[in-house]
């Protein structure tokens, strides 16, 4: 913030002007302050923006945008013409300027910086300081958070027909979401929180994410996706992110099992300490309680559709997927025969390709019939419930415009792919077994080290060595003489001995016949 005296020729000696540049926190404070003062009522020019993009400036929806059709838009005055308002006995003038647009190569778009000028007609510099402090305190009191969503990508609208699922699955989901969006008044009347959660689970590549994108395109919804794997995301940031999502939008958390699993990772328990066993960073900085709080706690956002995907529903905590948090679960499977057939027909429409065996002059109906026959032949070559639609699509991409080639090579591709998957699974299993053996060995070594310390072997002093040598006992590294008897620290009387093969045994001394040793 820059402050200088004088702003106009008529008031050079009786005014102070402060400059606030976009990107500085004070800019957000002042913009929120001006919004509450309703200075926009006297403005002729407005900038219409998506609500979430303006939330970063602390600007709430004006009365103009309170209608149902524009609830996701906000009207922000441009202040291109100076506006005058009264604040605590001072006349304050506000104006705004925009810098020359420049191209941001990293964001791949043209950007410009806005600057707000506040002129207070007084000679008291403390008036400017008081106004800024008032704006800051008001901004914080209204619980505005330093978080806003960035538009990362725009994707073409995807039709529902492009998602090949079992019959009725997609239609049921679309109907359920549409019903939810149309029944806000009913939820309020019934006293039920206006939110709904969905969990899509199944093998990777089965179409979970594609379903969500197709659903959003069909119903005209925006998707707000957040990765819990990011080390910068914690409970507070997650709550702030959700608070910035407008109604009638989708909040998506993909692969939620990677962050919230009720079973510990067998390879390494990373979350056992802040840096993990091997010094790796934590799996996730968001806690389960933090996520549960935004789903149905005080931090939950009404009117937002929550979608989560997972490959392993069995690893999720029951508290996360109980009714009220997850209202509808949809299971995805590997492709069955109807899906393989439908995918083939979708991939080879008669309008874009013609079979090699098709004769010239065939009607569209005859071509369609021929493609249908080839689709059945293709499905015959593919084992059911073995491959995902993504895998089948990857194969069909190698046979673009050549449906008969796809049929000829399908069986060989299926056999090779299945063999590769089996080999990969065997390697994965061997790796897990090797890791388990390594952990077992480390546990044994740790136990042996502990036992040796308990017997004083690792902490012998020269005086101890002389004493034991005088007794005629010969102590070798890692061995305990048979005559030695060391009581364990447990409450039950027992002795710890090491046999000739270096394996440790614990003998209950209560069964020993030697009264002295007992």
pLDDT digit string (tens) for the chain, length 518 residues: 665 544 444 455 678 899 998 878 788 888 888 877 777 666 666 666 555 443 443 344 444 444 444 445 555 565 567 888 889 899 999 888 876 665 554 444 555 678 888 999 998 889 989 999 998 888 776 644 445 566 566 677 788 888 999 888 999 999 999 999 999 999 989 988 899 999 999 999 999 999 999 999 889 888 888 888 777 788 888 888 888 788 888 999 888 887 765 544 444 443 444 334 444 445 567 888 888 888 876 556 788 899 999 999 998 888 888 888 899 999 999 999 999 999 999 998 877 666 666 666 677 788 888 899 999 999 999 999 999 999 999 999 998 888 999 999 999 999 999 999 999 999 999 999 999 999 999 999 999 888 888 887 555 555 555 554 454 444 344 444 444 444 444 444 444 444 444 444 444 444 444 444 43
Q: Are 46 and 35 in contact (CB under 8 A)?
A: no
pLDDT score, position 400? 85
pLDDT score, position 96? 81
Q: Are 207 and 309 in contact (CB under 8 A)?
A: no
pLDDT score, position 98? 73
pLDDT score, position 14? 79
Please name which of 407, 422, 320, 423 lies closest in space to residue 371, comparing C-alpha atoms.
407
Which residues on neighbouring strands pair with residue 330, listed in sequence order?
A: 200
Alpha-carbon dihedral of residues 29, 31, 32, 36, nearest 10 degrees? 130
Q: Are 24 and 49 in contact (CB under 8 A)?
A: no
User: Per residue in 81-120, pLDDT tens?
Assistant: 788 888 989 999 988 887 666 555 444 455 567 888 899 9
* CB under 8 A, 24+ apart: contacts of 174-179: 174/215, 174/218, 174/219, 176/328, 177/215, 177/219, 177/305, 178/219
pLDDT score, position 144? 44
pLDDT score, position 395? 95
Alpha carbon distance 328, 177 (integer Å): 10
Which residues on neighbouring strands pair with residue 276, listed in sequence order?
A: none
User: Can you read off the two tokens belonging to residue 165?
Assistant: 């699922």
pLDDT score, position 459? 53
* Residue 427 burial by Cβ neighbours in a 10 Å radius (0-12, 13-18, 19+): exposed
Alpha carbon distance 72, 65 (integer Å): 8
User: Can you read off the two tokens belonging to residue 272?
Assistant: 């056992």
Kindly write down the DSSP assignment for every residue of 138-188, as one continuous string: HHHHTT--S---------PPPPGGGS--STTHHHHHHHHHHHHHH-HHHHH
User: How far, in whole angstroms, is CA 361 from its chain's centroid?
Assistant: 53
Kindly write down the DSSP assignment for every residue of 52-72, as one continuous string: HHHGGGTPPP-GGG-SGGGTT
pLDDT score, position 31? 83
Alpha carbon distance 219, 223 (integer Å): 11
pLDDT score, position 21? 87
Alpha carbon distance 484, 456 (integer Å): 12
448: Cβ–Cβ under 8 A, 6 or more apart, which residues? 504
pLDDT score, position 82? 80
220: Cβ–Cβ under 8 A, 6 or more apart, which residues? none
Alpha carbon distance 122, 119 (integer Å): 9
């Amino acid at each position: 913030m820059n402050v200088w005296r004088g702003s106009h020729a008529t008031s050079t000696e009786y005014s102070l002007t402060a400059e606030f540049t976009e990107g500085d926190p004070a800019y957000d404070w002042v913009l929120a302050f001006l919004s509450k003062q309703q200075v926009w009522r006297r403005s002729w020019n407005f900038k219409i923006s998506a609500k979430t993009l303006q939330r970063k400036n602390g600007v709430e929806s004006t009365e103009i945008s309170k209608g149902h059709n524009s609830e996701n838009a906000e009207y922000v005055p441009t202040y291109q013409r100076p506006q005058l308002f009264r604040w605590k006995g001072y006349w304050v003038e506000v104006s705004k300027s925009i810098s020359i647009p420049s191209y941001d190569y990293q964001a791949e778009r043209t950007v410009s910086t806005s600057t707000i000028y506040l002129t207070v007609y007084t000679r008291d510099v403390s008036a400017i300081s008081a106004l800024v402090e008032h704006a800051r305190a008001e901004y914080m009191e209204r619980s505005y958070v330093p978080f806003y969503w960035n538009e990362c990508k725009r994707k073409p609208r995807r039709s529902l027909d492009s998602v090949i699922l079992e019959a009725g699955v997609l239609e049921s989901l679309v109907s359920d979401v549409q019903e939810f969006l149309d029944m806000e008044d009913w939820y309020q009347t019934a006293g039920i929180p206006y939110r709904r959660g969905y969990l899509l689970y199944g093998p990777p590549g089965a179409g979970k994410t594609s379903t969500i994108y197709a659903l959003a395109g069909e119903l005209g919804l925006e998707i707000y996706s957040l990765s819990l794997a990011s080390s910068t995301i914690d409970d507070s940031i997650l709550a702030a992110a959700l608070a910035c999502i407008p109604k009638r939008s989708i909040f998506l958390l993909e692969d939620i099992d990677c962050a919230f699993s009720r079973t510990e990772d067998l390879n390494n328990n990373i979350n056992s300490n802040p840096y993990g066993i091997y010094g790796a960073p934590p799996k996730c900085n968001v806690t389960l309680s933090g996520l549960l709080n935004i789903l149905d706690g005080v931090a939950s956002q009404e009117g937002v559709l929550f979608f989560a995907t997972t490959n392993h529903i069995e690893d999720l905590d029951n508290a996360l997927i109980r009714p009220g948090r997850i209202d509808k679960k949809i299971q995805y499977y590997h492709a069955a025969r109807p899906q393989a057939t439908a995918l083939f027909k979708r991939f080879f429409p008669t309008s874009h390709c013609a079979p090699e065996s098709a004769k010239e002059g065939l009607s569209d109906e005859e071509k369609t019939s021929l493609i249908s026959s080839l689709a059945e032949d293709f499905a015959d070559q593919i084992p059911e419930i073995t491959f995902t639609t993504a895998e089948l699509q990857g194969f069909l991409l190698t046979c673009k415009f050549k449906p008969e080639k796809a049929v000829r090579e399908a069986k060989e591709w299926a056999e090779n792919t299945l063999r590769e998957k089996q080999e990969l699974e065997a390697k994965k299993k061997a790796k897990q077994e090797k890791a388990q053996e390594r952990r077992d060995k480390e546990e044994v070594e740790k136990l042996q080290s502990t036992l040796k310390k308990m017997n004083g072997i690792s902490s012998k002093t020269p005086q101890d060595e002389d004493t034991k040598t005088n007794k005629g006992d010969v102590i070798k590294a890692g061995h305990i003489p048979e005559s030695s008897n060391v009581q364990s620290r447990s409450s039950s009387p027992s002795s710890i001995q090491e046999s000739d093969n270096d394996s440790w045994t614990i003998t209950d001394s209560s069964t020993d016949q030697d009264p002295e040793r007992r």
